[in-house]
């Protein structure tokens, strides 16, 4: 059976970038790529791949680390330095150098100059994991890791697939396996009985999970506000220039903001891009609309609905039936007139990164998606992050469904290493300095403090709004 290595390829790509940054001063990119390729080849054909990127990183970091230099003694002689140790599954003691590979010894090795005690620990740990992986047996029994399964919003997939995150969780005895779905699907239709935790992208969706529902067993788990991300708009410089000329977009301290009030008014008047005076950069006869996901299934669309309904209700949270009747005719076309929309936030943003502004000149996203793409060097020149004014904060909230889910929730909420890794994936954590360090390092123009934030409707009010918008699709 041919192995599906798409996720592994992505993990190796990220690993190559990280190591290139870590060892830029002492190794060329070619040396790093060669070391990774050689280490990966040693796992060729192994059927279980979850730990392969972690093992490769462990081996390659040891190889690339600076080697101890000889120290000159008073008598003029050099102090003895341990020779390179070639690690492989057959050298379990880690203290005896093996014969170098050559014509008579075809075994593949990576020379690593490290102290014997460290080498022994590394070899034993590596071999133990390799045996578990290569045998294809019960990995939990072999490694001592507890498998924790969950369903998450798609924007967090890359976080849980990150080898560094996997390694950090393994330190605490956990191996996390995830499925993805739209947050509203998680809250309403996904069978949670087979999972240890649910991790939608907002407090509203999390609260829905905890509400009694027909056909679903009662959920009495704990709630963990792990990290947050304000809603934002991914767009392009030519579009920003057009919007700026019409007064919809403005720049403050290097950050672009999008006037939602003016947007709602233009949409109500059925404006198209060809109506923008002097438009020669995007003269397309399409409605001026922000691309969202499907509000019937996805939290990011529900968050956008919270924004536009607040504005349409004269900067007030929708509360009563009268409020709903007033705003639905104004906001429903912002979704229905888009035509087909994706079920989760991953799809529109992937299109934004790969297809250019022809398909979707403005895309409703989580700020975290843009920052993560910047960290991963996926952004192209001319791509711009813009904030709706007002916006809303999406609090990514984990619901534990049993004790294993509780342990994961506690770790993600409090562990400094995991919080730092979350910041690397674009999320804002309790420690503001972590996010600030990431955006400064990768020069991402984000708002330091998001001030113009609207309140979201209550759980019941938002559900009624979503149901009303859903009926507009029929």
Taking residues 423-429, what's their average pLDDT? 96
Provide the 8-state DSSP code for 341. Answer: -
Band of residue 147 on the pLDDT scale cut at 50, 70, 90: very high
Binned at pLDDT 50, 70 and 90, residue 68 comes out as low
The predicted model scores a pTM of: 0.68
Q: Each residue of 368-412: pLDDT tens digit?
A: 999 999 999 999 999 999 999 999 999 999 999 999 999 999 999
Mean pLDDT score, 230-257? 95
215: phi > 0 → left, psi -120 to 50 → alpha, else beta; which?
Answer: left
Contact 397, 203 (CB under 8 A): yes
Measure Cα distances from 170 to 51, 120, 199, 398 in Å.
Answer: 10, 20, 19, 19
The alpha-helical segments, DSSP class H, found in 42-115 are 52-64
* Backbone torsions φ then ψ of 213, nearest 5 degrees: -145, 145
pLDDT at res. 48: 66
- Of 33-42, 74-83, 363-372, 439-448, which range is least confident? 74-83
Higher-confidence residue of 260 and 15: namely 260
Q: What is the pLDDT of residue 67?
A: 64
| Sign of the C-alpha dihedral computed for residues 35, 40, 42 and 44 taken in this order | negative
Report the distance separating Cα 46 and Cα 468, nearest Å: 51
Average pLDDT across the chain, whole number:
83
Backbone φ and ψ for 398, nearest 5 degrees, come out as -95, 135
Q: Does the structure show a pLDDT above 50 at 82? A: no
């Amino acid at each position: 059976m041919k192995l599906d290595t798409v996720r592994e390829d992505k993990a190796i790509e990220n690993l190559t970038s990280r190591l290139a940054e870590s060892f830029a001063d002492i190794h060329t990119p070619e040396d790093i790529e060669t070391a990774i390729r050689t280490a990966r080849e040693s796992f060729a054909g192994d059927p279980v791949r979850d730990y392969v990127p972690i093992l490769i990183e462990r081996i390659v970091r040891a190889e690339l680390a600076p080697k101890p230099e000889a120290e000159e003694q008073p008598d003029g002689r050099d102090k003895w330095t341990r020779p390179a140790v070639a690690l492989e599954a057959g050298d379990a003691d880690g203290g005896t150098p093996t014969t170098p590979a050559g014509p008579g010894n075809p075994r593949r090795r990576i020379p690593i100059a490290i102290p014997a005690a460290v080498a022994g620990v590394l070899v034993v740990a590596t071999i133990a994991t390799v045996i578990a992986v290569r045998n294809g047996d019960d990995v939990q029994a072999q490694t001592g890791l507890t498998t924790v399964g969950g369903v998450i919003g798609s924007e967090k997939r890359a976080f849980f697939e990150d080898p560094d995150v996997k390694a950090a969780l393994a330190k605490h005895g956990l191996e996390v396996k995830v499925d993805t779905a739209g947050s509203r699907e998680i809250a309403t239709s996904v069978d949670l009985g087979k999972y240890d935790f649910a991790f939608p992208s907002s407090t509203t969706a999390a609260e829905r999970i905890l509400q009694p529902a027909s056909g679903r067993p009662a959920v009495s788990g704990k709630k963990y506000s792990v990290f947050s991300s304000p809603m934002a708009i991914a767009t392009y410089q030519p579009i920003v220039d057009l919007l700026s000329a019409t007064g919809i977009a403005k720049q403050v301290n290097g950050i672009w903001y999008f006037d939602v009030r003016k947007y709602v008014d233009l949409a109500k008047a059925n404006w198209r891009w060809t109506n923008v005076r002097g438009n020669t950069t995007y003269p397309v006869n399409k409605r001026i609309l922000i691309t969202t996901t499907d509000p019937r299934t996805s939290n990011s669309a529900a968050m956008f609905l919270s924004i536009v309904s607040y504005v349409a209700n004269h900067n007030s949270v929708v509360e009563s039936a009268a409020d709903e009747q007033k705003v639905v005719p104004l906001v429903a076309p912002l979704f229905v007139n888009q035509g087909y929309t994706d079920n989760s936030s991953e799809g529109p943003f992937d299109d934004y990164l790969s297809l250019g502004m022809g398909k979707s000149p403005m895309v409703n996203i989580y700020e975290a998606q843009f920052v993560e793409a910047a960290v991963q060097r996926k952004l192209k020149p001319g791509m711009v992050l813009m904030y709706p004014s007002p916006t809303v904060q999406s609090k990514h909230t984990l619901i534990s469904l049993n004790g294993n889910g509780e342990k994961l929730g506690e770790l993600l909420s409090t562990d400094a290493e995991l919080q730092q890794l979350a910041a690397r994936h674009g999320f804002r954590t309790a420690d503001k300095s972590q996010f600030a360090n990431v955006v400064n390092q990768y020069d991402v123009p984000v708002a330091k403090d998001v001030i113009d934030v609207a309140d979201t409707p209550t759980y019941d009010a938002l559900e009624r709004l979503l149901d009303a918008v859903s009926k507009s699709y029929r």
